[in-house]
Structure 1
Amino acid sequence: MNSSRFQNVTMNLMSGEMLVGQLLGFSPIMTKLHFMTAAGDARKIDMHDIVYIGIHGTAATHPSRMSDLDDLKIITVNLDTFDIYAAPAMSNAPGFYAYLKDQSLPFERIFFYQHGIRYQEKPERLGDLLIDQEILGYDDLQRALDIQIKSMPHLGDVLKGQGKVSDEDLDEALKTQQLQRMRLGDLLVHHELVTEDDVHEALQEQRASVDIPLGQILVDKGKVEHGHIDNALKMQSRRKMRLGEILLEAKLINPHDLQVALDEQKAHGHRLGEILLSTDVITEDQLLEVLAKKFRLPTVDLDSYPVNPEAATMIDRPIIEKYGILPIDVDKHSLTIALSDPMGLEAYDTISFKTGKKVHEVMVKASQLQEKLARFLKEDFADDQLSCEFLHQDDDEDDEPLNELQITQSAEDAPIVRLVNRIIRGGLRKHASDIHILPQAKKLVLAYRLNGQLLSESSLEKNLSKQISARIKILCGMDIAEQRLPQDGRLILRDGKKKHEFRVSCIPNTFGESLVLRVLNKDAAVDLKQLGLRESDLGQLSTIVRKPYGLLLVTGPTGSGKSTTLFSLLKSIADLPAHILTIEDPVESEIAGANQIQVNQKIGMTFARILRNVLRHDPDVIMIGEIRDGETAEIAIEAALTGHLMFSTLHTNSAVDTIIRLNDLDIPNYLLAPSLLGVVSQNLLKQLCPDCRQPVAEDDEVFSIIRDAGYQRPETLYAACGCEHCNRTGYIGRVMLYEFLAVNDEVRQAIHDGKTGHELQRIAIQNGMVPKAEYALKMAADGIIDHKEFIYALM
């Protein structure tokens, strides 16, 4: 084949096999390469099976601008070592071309695939790189090197301590090293071949004719022979030999002994980078940048990188602790690990063998790695403790036990168990209200709802979808064989003395089963004063909840904290001599002294049916989780009129809209007016982090919106920024925005007369109600909420 379309090559495969032949039209972006052997046999080779391709040429021709290339040492996955010149690596490129320093090889150039490289490093020392980058000067480097030398034990002492050399051997080697550092004249005097006077006279003559070497002058004067000069010059030429090299040459130690001693020497001394950081000569970011260039590795900011929880299941804890690495991402072929110091080949081999994947390394700051690694190991240990603590919540009737195959799949698939534990624990650690596991076309999305906002955490491999859903369905007591219909379940997680409960929804979608785990806060019943109510409203509510009868409603969208407010109201009267009944779906918080009843739609235990029966159970206070239909609303109103204090929730956007909603449920105004005591309409807004909030510009458009809405312009508004304290989100939780409509005689008469909308709103404000928009503006001016959250409150 002499066509110019073919290139003569030598290919090294991942299996270690070497192929010599021709490639048809090679390009780095090709995934399948057409290869022809010398015998004429054709085959296709996948790029992932190739380590490197040596492109043959008549002679290795180096480019003219060598200064633009990196001087590198490369070690491949097959342990072949190359000293090369290569262009700086491009991100996302499958590999790079290089030129070999050893021009005896028949390659014009060589193409290395990234997946075929185990290790690459620039030979320049760290100090030289820092000087080249103008990060520090020679004086700073020398001071750091002096400190390093003082902190590091002498190699000879290490070897003596290991019993590799005797004092006599070491003394002889040190004498040899000292001789190597002598000038030629001093060497000749030391061996008593000439006198000091002879050398002095020769130096005087050399000054008169500088072109004549000192040795030649001494030979011409008959002081020494040529052989003596040659031996002295050989000794002098080796003046850079280190102590270890001298001991090796004398066969007093072997290479393994030397490497062990050097490793121990480094372990007991301080690294140059550590010294430079401790003396504040360079910053950690500067050190990271230089190390990344030296080892040609990408850098990652662990504070913002979305760590894939699946990666943590790939490597056992002992390996992570031993090598000080953090697994952060994984895909079908590779595992990405974060490190602050490139690993040795032993670590690479161990991780690659254990996982069966190509290991990708990324450089991170040492301080970040230490912090994240400590947290990871702590959580990993806690996850293992959780593995047998999941309990599914049984209904009243006994469910059939899981069959043996289901139990085996759950118990033996350890990586999935660890992954599900880590997903759930991640949600608890972040204080998420919901955990979403959403299958998409090519990936599985993990997301957490934080402060009311759904934030994508990471993407998992699509093939994990069925395993994860099966694991969670087993824990919840769902039918894992049913994948076509929606299912609901609950699970309880015991973490030491703490207990966390989750309501789980599983719904099939186009790409699999979507799972949402709602975190049920059993401690939702906080003290009423902790809700953030204004003093005047707190006083009126405290009076209302002690009345003998009537209806108090808490309204708002889903996730606005309505249940928390109700539980707090009930807790505030738990000490009264009253029979308190709650009807909930599900029971979300435990109220001391209350009789709490769980709705069960499957057996007909609906809100309305339970409410009819509990009215004959002699209750004083009844809390209904939600008024969902006209029947429940009608019974609640009748109960409120016949001597019961009723609490419940509705889905409305304002206090005034509640009247319209009850009218829509066929509750007439003549019954509503005498029964209704008050309405709390609320929303939850994200609370600004006080450590990093920033004032907005004077000309921000929000000020114009405030003016157009008829409100007085505040002096300052604030925007979210992000810092360590708030995990760089800009927010530290949520705050309640509300309006409280207390029904007095004037408001009751307006409801009876059928007034709604703007007219009822005007009467409510005249009687002390502070509208949500007005309260939101005050919170925005006080820096409690973001200026954009105020705009949301106006909508």
Structure 2
Amino acid sequence: MSTTEWDDVYAGLAHMVLREDFPELPAKYVALAIDRSSRKTHRSPLLELLDVEDLNGTFTLKTATELVARVTKVPFIDLSNPRVETDVAPIQQGGLELFAGRECIPVAFEGRQYLVAVTVSRGLNTVIKRGYAETDKPELALGYLPEVLARIERVRNEFVLTGDQTDEPQAEAAADPVIDRGNVQRVAVEDTGNVAFVRDTIEKAAGQGASDLHLSLDESGRLIIRMRIDGVVRQMVSQNAGNGRKLIQSAMSHANMDIGTQNEPQSTKFEHVTADGRRLDVRSEMLPARTGPKITWRLLDSVNSIMRIDEMGLAAPTAETLKREMGKASGMVITTGPTGSGKSTTMYALLQERTGSGEEIITIEDPIEYKLAGITQVQVDPKSRRGVKWHNAIKSALRSDPDVILIGEMRDPDTAQTGVQAAMTGHLVLSTLHTTSALGVFARLLDLGVEPFLAGDQVRIAIGQRLVRRIHRDCARTEHLDARTIELLEAAGIKDVTEAPAPGGCDLCARTGYKGRSALMELLVVNSAIQDAVRFGGGSELAIREASNEDNYIPFSVDAKRLITEGITSPSEVLPLLTSVDGGIWRPGGEDVTALVPVEDTKAS
């Protein structure tokens, strides 16, 4: 167990002791707290106490919390107990952010009301005053930090809260002391009111791993906030009607938008620094909707989220092939998939194989999604009259002595043909195409005007990619598959699978059973048979499929079977993706489901 983990839970205890909140604590505990404070460190005195007692790491964070409860004579509530129910009424009265800001949650257990907090401090008086009636006070209790935070997120995801959060309460909340945890300095936000709420909303979305944050107004003018986590949109919190339009205006102003122009789309970007020091690049879009401005923020951790191939969780043969092909001097590596399928993440993981090798690397993107030291990154702006255009940037890059060029997307004939010429003249080119699979790469290049012999000769590998949600293993279960699911898996090319992981659901995964996402990947390595299929067969998916074999082609179905059998994801995650790739639609449930229904037949009906 790391010191950081201990500090994250108990860094406020020394301050608590020195304020004489608990004078009954053992003398050596107080002495340790004073000693640590005099050395101006934030290490928990409880950790020092455990060191003195020489407990040899036998305590977990949770049992240590129980120890604190016994020492301080405060009840400990085990929030993993399903009989401990969340008391929603105080949250509806005071607003969820009142409780979340002080890391506490109201519960009911065995006929009594408790306010479960990470540390008991005077700041909880504000929570009780605003969340409870005068005659309905709770008993204070300690809880295990991850379980407290999980309960808060469970409420956030399962309930639409309409607590009256006006400017004055927000200002009061921002003024309250905030516990400093470990080495991270958490400073109270200087801004108050709506601006503080906007910043706090971004902070919470980033903390939960959201990729997108949506702000909109309903018919009554109430602000509706949703965030996309692991590819699924969840409602976060709903503000009262009277403040919704002010909050939207504050959000527009925070995103450097013109709040006086709400009848036409706006695109901006800004930076948000999180409490733990991460710098997020936020791409902001405003769409004029019928009920008022609709704002979407794409949250990009452009530095910390860059992975290497070995960190992507790929099958060993796939990872080895990608590394081998990235070691070649020239040619094209093309990644395909719909928007939001992780193409940029994969391209930068591939690019990492060449950074630090004494080569000149240039990326041409719109926008630049990841910041990588030691390379040249160019932002194109095709919409601006004076902005850098794709094909001009590629031509200029070719005159800049590059070894490797990354082209964000080949979306038009000029870009595609210039990219192929770059590969033909001895450069390694990485790019993306919007096709349904790796097998469709050549047909798409030919549609963009690339000559068949050039497409066949220059493309080295084609990658197809989707993202699937990862099973949360802490609450996962194994189920025996029914005959219908086995039939669907076999129709999608996955055979000999009779049991699979299934989502459970706990507070730590917001009761979804999933946490995080993994790549579902298809890989095509171009050989002479593929080249002939492109030159003489028109590059159609059928021709490429017939020219492929298990030595040079790993289909989606093979990787899907691996993800299921290794317990990474469930059949319900992969089946819709597989059948859509292969020209069919999978419909879970319903008496009309007897086979995979071709897309054309579905449209006709």
Query: Is the TM value for this pair above 0.5?
Result: yes
Structure-1 residue corresponding to 2:370 = 589
Q: In the aligned structure 1, how far is the partner of 2:336 from the partner of 2:512?
A: 28
Q: Residues 286-365 of structure 1 correspond to what in structure 2 (within 5 A)?
A: 300=86, 311=95, 340=114
* 2:423 is equivalent to residue 621 of structure 1: no
Structure-2 residue corresponding to 1:441 = 219
* Equivalent position amino acid for 2:342 in 1: G
Structure-1 residue corresponding to 2:59 = none
Q: In the aligned structure 2, how far is the partner of 1:664 from the partner of 1:364?
A: 70
Which of 293, 296, 300 in structure 2 is aligned with 1:513? Answer: 293
Q: In the aligned structure 2, how far is the partner of 1:720 from the partner of 1:306?
A: 31
* 2:364 is equivalent to residue 562 of structure 1: no
How far the C-alpha of 1:712 sits from its partner, in A, is: 2.3
Q: In the aligned structure 2, how far is the partner of 1:373 from the partner of 1:561?
A: 28
Q: Percent identity?
A: 27
Structure-2 residue corresponding to 1:426 = 204
What do residues 246-282 of structure 1 show as CA deviations (whole Å, max 9, x unaligned)? xxxxxxxxxxxxxxxxxxxxxx9979xx5xx89x9xx
CA contact (8 A) 1:383 1:422 kept: no
TM-score when normalising by structure 2: 0.68
Q: In the aligned structure 2, how far is the partner of 1:740 from the partner of 1:466?
A: 48
Q: Residues 683-722 of structure 1 correspond to what in structure 2 (within 5 A)?
A: 683-709=466-492, 711-722=494-505
Structure-2 residue corresponding to 1:385 = 187
SS for the counterpart of 2:352 is helix
Which of 604, 611, 619 in structure 1 is aligned with 2:387? Answer: 604
Which of 527, 539, 555 in structure 1 is aligned with 2:308? Answer: 527
What do residues 346-398 of structure 1 show as CA deviations (whole Å, max 9, x unaligned)? x999889989x99997989956698648998998989973746xxxxxxxxxx
Structure-1 residue corresponding to 2:62 = none
How far the C-alpha of 1:604 sits from its partner, in A, is: 2.6
* Equivalent position amino acid for 1:538 in 2: A
Which of 434, 438, 444 in structure 2 is aligned with 1:661? Answer: 444
Q: Quick one: structure 1 residues 449 and 306, their matched pair in 2 at CA, closer, same or farther if it must change by over 3 Å?
A: farther
* Equivalent position amino acid for 2:428 in 1: L
Q: Residues 275-286 of structure 1 correspond to what in structure 2 (within 5 A)?
A: none
Structure-1 residue corresponding to 2:560 = 776
* Equivalent position amino acid for 1:422 in 2: D
* Equivalent position amino acid for 1:340 in 2: Y
Q: In the aligned structure 2, how far is the partner of 1:481 from the partner of 1:586?
A: 26
Number of residues of Structure 1 aligned to a counterpart in Structure 2: 466
Q: Quick one: structure 1 residues 788 and 378, their matched pair in 2 at CA, closer, same or farther if it must change by over 3 Å?
A: farther
SS for the counterpart of 1:746 is helix
Q: Quick one: structure 1 residues 349 and 498, their matched pair in 2 at CA, closer, same or farther if it must change by over 3 Å?
A: closer
What do residues 192-250 of structure 1 show as CA deviations (whole Å, max 9, x unaligned)? xxxxxxxxxxxxxxxxxxxxxxxxxxxxxxxxxxxxxxxxxxxxxxxxxxxxxxxxxxx
Q: In the aligned structure 1, how far is the partner of 2:427 from the partner of 2:126?
A: 70
Structure-1 residue corresponding to 2:532 = 749
* Bigger RCO of structures 1 and 2 (CA < 8 A, at least 6 apart): 2
* 2:226 is equivalent to residue 415 of structure 1: no
Q: In the aligned structure 2, how far is the partner of 1:284 from the partner of 1:678?
A: 51
How far the C-alpha of 1:472 sits from its partner, in A, is: 2.7
How far the C-alpha of 1:700 sits from its partner, in A, is: 5.0
Where in structure 2 are there 5+ consecutive unaligned residues?
1-23, 25-70, 117-122, 153-175, 580-605
Which of 514, 517, 542 in structure 2 is aligned with 1:758? Answer: 542
CA contact (8 A) 2:264 2:288 kept: yes
Q: In the aligned structure 2, how far is the partner of 1:732 from the partner of 1:316?
A: 21
What do residues 438-469 of structure 1 show as CA deviations (whole Å, max 9, x unaligned)? 22223322111111111122222234333223
TM-score when normalising by structure 1: 0.52
Q: Residues 629-648 of structure 1 correspond to what in structure 2 (within 5 A)?
A: 629-648=412-431
| RMSD value, Cα | 4.0
* Equivalent position amino acid for 2:337 in 1: G
Q: Quick one: structure 1 residues 352 and 569, their matched pair in 2 at CA, closer, same or farther if it must change by over 3 Å?
A: closer
CA contact (8 A) 2:283 2:297 kept: yes
Q: In the aligned structure 2, how far is the partner of 1:739 from the partner of 1:454?
A: 26
CA contact (8 A) 2:99 2:105 kept: no
Q: Quick one: structure 1 residues 725 and 483, their matched pair in 2 at CA, closer, same or farther if it must change by over 3 Å?
A: closer
Q: In the aligned structure 2, how far is the partner of 1:596 from the partner of 1:642?
A: 21
CA contact (8 A) 2:301 2:370 kept: yes
Q: In the aligned structure 2, how far is the partner of 1:438 from the partner of 1:719?
A: 34
CA contact (8 A) 2:91 2:99 kept: no
Q: In the aligned structure 2, how far is the partner of 1:694 from the partner of 1:341?
A: 32
CA contact (8 A) 1:306 1:458 kept: no
Q: Quick one: structure 1 residues 637 and 368, their matched pair in 2 at CA, closer, same or farther if it must change by over 3 Å?
A: same
Q: In the aligned structure 1, how far is the partner of 2:513 from the partner of 2:93?
A: 24
How far the C-alpha of 1:563 sits from its partner, in A, is: 0.7
* 2:451 is equivalent to residue 451 of structure 1: no
How far the C-alpha of 1:725 sits from its partner, in A, is: 4.3
Structure-2 residue corresponding to 1:466 = 245
Q: Report the structure number with the largest CA radius of gyration.
A: 1
Q: Quick one: structure 1 residues 708 and 545, their matched pair in 2 at CA, closer, same or farther if it must change by over 3 Å?
A: closer
Q: In the aligned structure 1, how far is the partner of 2:93 from the partner of 2:529?
A: 59
Which of 499, 503, 507 in structure 1 is aligned with 2:283? Answer: 503
